[in-house]
Amino acid sequence: MAPTPTGPDHSPITPAAADHVASIQAEWRRERPDLDVSPQAVIGRLHRLSGRLTEELCLVYGRYGLGEGEFDVLAALRRAGAPFERAPGELAAHTMVTTGAMTKRIDRLERAGLVTRRRSEADGRGRVVALTEAGRRLFDEAFTAHMRNEHRLLSVLTPEEASALEALLTTWQRRLDHPEPPPAGHPHP
């Protein structure tokens, strides 16, 4: 049997004290017993976990002088394969940001010598953003560290837990992205 975890004052940490979301739910159940707050058990934890994961991921990006957005742009260029270039609109689609936000990211990366911009040969009005050799080397090193970090973060789960979580999240995302219409005679909530 595992020992009971303790806080800095060596008092036992109860599950509710260790779980911020459970504490919030308990307060809402007391204050609004008329509402079912059970979705917070999943969504609240995912929200908190998302913030924690973002912090942990950004620590690695920062070691390479990159923010989350810059890392994302370099990743989209590197994934494109040689010659590691995409149009700005394509980059925006591959990173899910607006073209205005993309322009700012590209400006910063260009000033750092990690990307270049040139006119498109296919369309003289369009532009192409390309990874420089220095950008590719930096990104490959940063991506290696990033994947080590992701493995570390996931290592607190067993392989079976990670696989089950992946399947559940995939199903949930697919259903939210592509909702099925309710069966005939069953109104949508």
What's the pLDDT tens digit per position in 131-145? 999 999 999 999 999
Q: What is the mean pLDDT of the chain?
A: 87
Return the closest-CA partner of residue 136 out of 82, 60, 58, 56.
82
The DSSP code sequence of 161-176 is HHHHHHHHHHHHHHHH
Check which CATH number belongs to the domain holding 129 and give it.
1.10.10.10
Looking at the domain assignment, is residue 172 inside a domain? no
> Looking at the 3D structure of the chain, how many domains does it have?
1
* Residue burial 169-184, b: 16+ Cβ < 10 Å; e: rest: eeeeeeeeeeeeeeee
- What is the DSSP code (8-state) at residue 181? P
Q: Tell me the residue range of the domain where 128 lies.
A: 48-155
Please, what sign has the CA dihedral across residues 41, 57, 17, 167? Answer: positive
- C-alpha–C-alpha distance, residues 118 and 126, integer Å: 9
- C-alpha–C-alpha distance, residues 21 and 38, integer Å: 10
Structure tokens at 71: 């890392």
Work out the average pLDDT over 38-57: 94
Work out the average pLDDT over 107-120: 93
Work out the average pLDDT over 157-174: 96
Element (H, E) at 141: helix 133-154
Q: Is the pLDDT of residue 5 over 50?
A: no
Comparison of pLDDT for 103 and 144, the residue scoring more? 144
Element (H, E) at 126: none
Given this model, what pLDDT does residue 89 score?
84
Given this model, what pLDDT does residue 125 score?
67
Looking at the domain assignment, is residue 9 inside a domain? no
What's the pLDDT tens digit per position in 66-76? 999 999 999 99
**Cα 152-154-160 angle, rounded to 5 deg:** 135
Q: Is the pLDDT of residue 126 over 80?
A: no
Looking at the domain assignment, is residue 77 inside a domain? yes
Work out the average pLDDT over 184-188: 65
Looking at the domain assignment, is residue 125 inside a domain? yes
115 touches 132 (CB < 8 A): yes
76 touches 89 (CB < 8 A): no
Looking at the domain assignment, is residue 124 inside a domain? yes
Residue 155, phi then psi, degrees to nearest 5: -65, -10
- C-alpha–C-alpha distance, residues 67 and 151, integer Å: 20
Looking at the domain assignment, is residue 73 inside a domain? yes
Q: Is the pLDDT of residue 7 over 50?
A: no
